[in-house]
Structures are given as C-alpha cells and as structure tokens.
Amino acid sequence: MAGTVVVAVSMHRIDRRLVAFAGLALVLSGNLLSMLIPSFEPLTALRLMTGLGVGLASGVMAAAIAGMTSPDRIFGGFTVMTLLVAAAGFAIIPWLTDIAGPYAIFLLIAFVTLPGLLLAAWFPVSSGSPGSARSNRIPKLFLTRPNAMAIGGTIGFYLAVGGVWPYIAEVGLQAGFRAQQVSNVLAGSQVWGAVGALVPLIIGLRYGRAWPVAIALMLMVTGLSAIALAPRSFLVYAVVVQIYMGMWLVFFPYMMGVMAGLDHHGRLASFSYTLQSIGFAAGPALAAMVVVGGRFAPLLWSGVFFHLAAFVLMVPVAFMVDGADRRVKFERSDS
C-alpha cells in the first residue's frame, strides 16, 4: 500500500521506468533472500521490503495503463493474465514444494517477476496519454467532486468484496453444504471470473463504462440478497457465487477505466490500488464484527449496503466520463 501511495502523490516528479525497475528488483531480491532466511524477524523485514516493491510496480503499472488509448481493455487483459498465472502457480506449487521445500513459493514469485524486470527497459518513462493535451497540469486527487465520488465508490466496493468473499466458503458450510460441494463452487467461480474479465476485451466501450459498472454492481447486490433470503438453497448459493466472481471482474476493468477517464496522468488509477489494500484489510475486520454466533445474514446485508454505496457514488461518475468521451470524439470528427 505504501508503494502505491508514493507513486500516486509523486506521479509528476518520478521516472516511471526507474520506479518500475526498482519495484520489480525489490520483489525479485526480496523473494530470493526470503528463501535463505530461517528466522522470523529478518523474514518479516524482507516481506515488508517485497511488499513495498509490489506497491511501486503496481502503482506505475496502473498509471501507465491509465494513459493508454483503451485502458479498460488493457486492465481486462491484465486481469485475465493474472488469473492464468495464479492458476498455473497453484498447479505447480505442490510439485515445487516437494523439490524445494516450503520456500518454493518465494522461488515461484521470483521466477514470475524476472520477465517483467527484463522488459522494464521498454516501460514508458512518463505520461503519454491522449488526454494530456487537455491540460499540462496534473490535478490534485481530491480537487473535484467526481474524483472524490470515484474514490468513495471504489473503497465502498472493496469493503464489500473484502468483507464478503473471505467468508463465502463459510457461508456455504454453515448452510449445511458438503465441503466438496463448496470447493467445487469456488473452483468454478475462478472460471467465471476469467469470463468476466474477458468482457471488456470483447465489447470494449461499445456500451460505455457506466452500463457495465451499473449492471455488475446490481447483479452483485441481487446475488448477496438472494443468498441472505434463501440461505439453504445450494442452487442459489452456487449460481450466485459464479455471478459474483464474474461481475467482480467485469466491474474492475471498467472502474479502472473510469479512474483513467477522470485522470489521464494515472494518479487516480495508481491510488485505486491503495484503496484496494484498505478495503481488503478493513473488510474482513468489519465482517468479523457483524458475524455473530455463526449467523452470516448480517454480513451479506452489509455487503449489499457497501455495493449499493459504490453504485450511488460510481455510476454517476461513469456516466459523466462516458459523456466527456463522446464530446471529445465529436470534436475530433468535426475538426
């Protein structure tokens, strides 16, 4: 989280290529050194250093994509690639553990980081966004109401997901479903997540950003409400978990596209990763406060509330960004 904050607040002063290289180098060296450290305190320090590297690399990556012509499509492609790499990693970790022991995960992450480090020389140094001609001055993050609404909608979304998703397996088990059934549902949801991430790649901005954002959030609200109202129905649980994961990964690329539309220099897109970290940290803590006596209905309704808050804040901003894009296209066609 600290790395993305550093990138967001110093976007106009940094060499993005240098920061990307430094972040990836920290991730690579931190994971390789973690394999050699058996004691807790030095290992903790190394993991903190590695986390800083992840934040730096993620921040400049988001900023660079925000300045490109089709950020929604690129964020969708990035999400698909992340899912594929994660699936491959989970498949080979048991084999690697047999060979390299419990530290194999560090070796795997270092290996995945290496291609990025080798390609860092081609990373853009600064913003070359199509919108940079509109203003050479980088605006302050909280200067405008749309920016603040987008930030509020993003953190509302991640509080909802961060609270609900870690407990989604327990929701099924508490309802009396077998562990294998729940495991199969969660495995299937990863497939539907990839399908959801493909949506921006396939349709792009044919329907704008606002409609996909609105539909995704309302389907997530409807799904959580259905589980809360019919907690013992395995069919409802199975279908909703697939839809929820799919809509999560439809929403993410278009949300990042909205951030890019508000700030072509990438500060908001970079800052959104900080908001993700906050939501994923605070969400489970808030969830633990409302799950009482094994009853998950309050958790599901709290998820509904935060998703609705995200809808109220994010959808109007998405319509505003769509309108601005249409005006720019009209001006270009007129000239």
Residues 195, 290: one domain? yes
Of the residues 84, 110, 130, which one is the last residue of a structural domain? 130
Instruction: Work out whether the CA dihedral 146, 148, 152, 154 comes out positive or negative.
Output: positive
The total number of structural domains in the chain stands at 2
Per-residue confidence (pLDDT) for residue 130, from 0 to 100:
42
Can you read off the two tokens belonging to residue 18?
């240098």
- pTM as predicted: 0.85
Specify whether 79 is located in the same domain as 68. Answer: yes
Same domain for 278 and 257, yes or no, is yes
Q: What is the CATH number of the domain that holds 234?
A: 1.20.1250.20
* 188 and 52 within one domain: no
Distance CA 64, CA 70 (A): 11
Amino acid at 152: G
CA 266 to chain centre: 15
- Return the residue matching tokens 């949300």: 255
Q: Could you list the residue range(s) of the whole structural domain that residue 69 is in?
A: 2-130
94 & 190 share domain: no
Do residue 225 and residue 325 come from a single domain? yes
pLDDT mean values, one per 10 residues, the chain (335 residues): 63 78 92 85 89 88 86 91 83 80 83 87 66 44 82 96 94 92 90 92 91 97 96 94 96 94 86 89 91 88 97 96 81 63
Residues 159, 307: Cα–Cα separation, whole Å: 9
Residue 83 φ then ψ, to 5°: -65, -40
